[in-house]
Each structure stands twice: as structure tokens, then as C-alpha cells.
Structure 1
Amino acid sequence: MLIIGELINTSRKAIRPAVERKDTAFIQDLAQRQVEAGAHYVDVNCGTLVHDEVQTMEWLVDTVQEAVSQPLCIDTPRAEAMEAGLAGVKNGQPMVNSITAEKERYARILPLVLKYKAKVVALCMDDKGVPASAEERITIIRRLVTDLTADGVPEDDIYLDPLITPISTGDHYGQAVLETVRFIRREYPRVHAVCGLSNISYGLPNRKILNRAFMIQTMAAGMDAYILDPLDKAMMGFVYASQALLGQDSYCGQYLSAHRSGLFE
């Protein structure tokens, strides 16, 4: 299970002012706490700072890497900001977040994935937009895997994101994601599946409950990576518990370590 810590993102109210004033201590503390809580990658996103995104991305990458040794997930649709972030990565194999099947975006981002030998989050959308059904998602996934592997990206470096749509806008959207993840696991066993969970509960009360429940359901379907808040102890507890129950945790070692650390208290 790969956990990508999502908190260093300027779309979050507490993060944008800290990034704008270049608050090194704040950002580094947040990076360290995410890693200590179990993040394998740290996501960095400053996309709301449109006019200064390139320079800010460079600062964020340098600042986070001074504090943690985990690799970074460079999160932006802009090729210029993506390259600025990737060029500064020193720790491990970087991750690109993200590429899509949209022709223009694919053409701009693919060369960076190859140049920096990065893992890549591939969003299940094309020039028609976000698909509504599992069938439409599967069609796009087939194209993404075919194109990415033909262009030289190893299957193990591909992280397919089926794109979660709020169930408040359609009863079938949760099932569409689960069907898509089952397809990925069945047809492409060496390719990974990743998602951010929070969209599933958008517009509804008690959002964290829905997010955690959907995480368990998607894990059972075959999801093996998440972009989430690792400081959410209940969420991380369900990650470790689910891995143990699904036979993904040898002799329940990670579950027991989490118990000894007090995670479940």
C-alpha cells in the first residue's frame, strides 16, 4: 500500500498563507508529521498561486526535501511547474501528478515522465471530460495503459486514478469506481490503482465517515495507493486493519506496530 500525503496543497486554507510568506518551519513540520504518520510520498501542490507557481514549486521542493527523505509527488497540470519541481528532486523516484488521455496534456507531460523516470498518476479522463460510467472509464484506461507502455513507461510506474465523482450527484458513482478498480486489478495486475477519497462525500454531512468507508471498499476491490491525510488517525487505522484482513500484512506486522504506537487509542 502506497500512501501519498496530501496536505501541502495551497488550495487548503491553512497552507496557502504559509507558502505565500515562505514559512519554512511550518511547511517542514507538516512534511515531517505526514512522514511520521506513514506517508511514503509527500505531495506538493501550489497550483492556486498561478502567477508564481514555477518559483513557488522550486521553493517547496527544496524546503520539503530539507526536512524529509521520502520522495515527492509533484502535483500540477502545468508542464513548466512540473519540470521545475522534478528538476529539483533529489530523494528517490519522483511521482508525476498527473497525466490524462487528453491529447494536449498527454503530449506535454509524457516527456517529463520519461526524462525524470518518474512514477505517474494517470487520471481517467480524456478530451470529452470525466466519464460517467465504469464502461467509459475502462475504455480510457485501456488507452492510457496501451499508450503509456508503448511510449516506454513501465507498468509498475503507472498509477491509474479512476476519478471519484460525488455520490451526492449520482447513486451509481461509487459502484462505477469499484467496478473500474476491479477491472484494473484483473486485467493489469502490474499496474497500480490510486485515488483521492474526499470527492466521494462532497456535499454530504459526516464526510470523514463516508471517506473511510469507501477507502475500505476500494481496498477490497484492489486499490493499492491513496492520496490522503495521513494525520487522520482513524483513516490510517483502517488502512492497517484492512491490509491485515486482506492478507496484505505478513503476520499482521504493520497492524501490530500501529497498535503498539497507540494509533488505535
Structure 2
Amino acid sequence: MLIIGELINTSRKLIGEAVEKRDADYIRKIAADQVAAGANYVDINCGTMIFDEVETMEWLVNTVQEVVQVPLCIDSPNPKAIEAGLKLARNGQSLINSITGEKERYAEILPLVLNYKTKVVALCMDDNGMPETAEDRMAVAQNLYQNLTEAGVSEDDIYFDPLVKPVSTGDKAGQEVLDTIKLIKQKYPKVHMVCGLSNVSFGLPNRKMLNQFFMIQTMTMGMDSYILNPLDKSMMGAVQGSQTLLGNDSYCTGYLNAHRNKLYE
């Protein structure tokens, strides 16, 4: 199970303020706390810093790497910002978030994946927009899989994102994601699946609970990576408990460690 810590994102008020002030101590603490809580990757997203995103990305990557040794997920709509982060990343294999089936985006991101030998999040969307059905998502995934693997990207480095939409705007939105995961994993068992959970509960009360329920459902279907807040003990406890019940925790070691770390209090 791959956990990508989502907190260093300038769209979050406190992070945005800290970045504006270049408060390195605060950023370092958030990065270190996420890793201590179980994050395997630290996501860095400063996409709201439109006018100086490249420079901000460089500062964030350098600042985070002063205190953590895990790889980074470089997350941006701007290919120049992504490359700026990749140039400085030095801990393991970086992850790019993200490539899509959109011709322009694909052409911009593929060279970065190949040049920096990264993993890559592949969003199930193309120039036709966000697909509505699992079958439409699968068609995009098939094209991305073929193009990426033919270009030399390893199956093990591809992380398909099935695109989670709010169930508040369509009551089948959650089921479409579950069906998409099943279709992709049946056809391409060696690729990975990743998603952010929070979209599913947008506009509804008790969001944390819905996110947790959805995490358990998606994991059962084959999701093996999440972009989430690792400081949320309830969520991390549910991740570990689900792994144990799915047979991915030899001798329940991870569950017992989670218990000792008081994730279930």
C-alpha cells in the first residue's frame, strides 16, 4: 500500500500562508509529521502560486528534502514546475501527478517521465473531458496503457486514477469508480491504482466517514495507493485494518503496530 501525504498544497490556507512567508520551519514540520505517520511519498503542489510557481516548487522541494528521505510526488498542471521539482528531487523514484489522454498534456509530460525515470499518475480522461461511465474510463485507460508502455514506461510505474466524482452530484459516481478499478485490474493486473478520496463526499455532511467507507470499498476492488492526510489516525487505522483483513498483513504485524500506535482510540 502506497500512501501519498497530501498536506503540502498551497490551496490549503495555512500552507499557502506559510509558503508566502517562506516559513521553512512550518513546511518542514508538516513534511516530517506526514512521514512519521506513515506516508511513503510527500506530495508537493503549489499550483495556486501562478506567477512564481517554478521558484516556489524549487523552494518547497529543497525545504522538504532537508527533513525527509522519502520520494516526492511532484503535482502541478504546469510542466515547467514539474520539471523544476524533478531536477532537485533526490530521494528514490519520484512520482509525477499527472498525465492524461489529452494530446497536449500527454506530449508535455511523457518526456519528463522518460527523462527522469519517474512513476506517473495517469488520469482516466482525454480530450473528450471527464468520462461518465466505467466503460468510457476504461477506453481512456486502454489508450494510455498502450501509449505509455510502447514508449517504454514500465507497468509497475503506472498509477491509474479513475477520477472520483461527488456522489452528491450523481448517485452512481462511487459505483462507477469501483467498476472502473475492477475493469482496469482485470485487464492490466500489474499496474497500480491511485485516487484522492475527498471528492466523493463533496457537499455532504460527515465527509470524513464517507471518505473512510469509500477507501475500504476501493481497496477491496484493487486500489493500492491513496493520496490522503496521513495525520488522520482514523483513516490510517482503517487503511491498515483493511489491509489486514484482505490478507496483506503477514501475522497481523501491521495491525498490531497500528494498535500500539493508538490508531484505534
- Normalised to the residue count of structure 2, the TM-score between the two structures is 0.99
Residue 59 (1) aligns with residue 59 (2) = yes
Distance 1:75 1:97 in 2: 5
**Structure 1, residues 70-125: CA drift from partner, whole Å, max 9, x if none?**
00000002110010000000111000000000000000000000000000000111
Helix, strand or coil at the partner of 1:174: helix
Name 1:8's counterpart in structure 2.
8
Name 1:223's counterpart in structure 2.
223
Deviation at residue 236 of structure 1 after TM alignment: 0.3
Name 1:91's counterpart in structure 2.
91
Residues 48-197 of structure 1: matches in 2 within 5 Å? 48-197=48-197
Consecutive unaligned residues in structure 2, runs of 5 or more:
none
Deviation at residue 237 of structure 1 after TM alignment: 0.4
Helix, strand or coil at the partner of 2:8: strand
Amino acid at match of 2:248: Q
Aligned residues: 265
Helix, strand or coil at the partner of 1:248: coil
Name 1:200's counterpart in structure 2.
200
Deviation at residue 251 of structure 1 after TM alignment: 1.1
Deviation at residue 264 of structure 1 after TM alignment: 1.3
Amino acid at match of 2:222: G
Distance 2:254 2:200 in 1: 27
Name 1:29's counterpart in structure 2.
29
* RMSD value, Cα: 0.6
**Structure 1, residues 121-170: CA drift from partner, whole Å, max 9, x if none?**
00111011111111100100111111100111000000000000100010
Deviation at residue 227 of structure 1 after TM alignment: 0.2
Amino acid at match of 2:68: V
Residue 248 (1) aligns with residue 259 (2) = no
Moved over 4 A (4+): none
Distance 1:5 1:122 in 2: 18
Distance 1:143 1:40 in 2: 29
Deviation at residue 188 of structure 1 after TM alignment: 0.8
- Normalised to the residue count of structure 1, the TM-score between the two structures is 0.99
Percent of aligned pairs with the same residue? 65
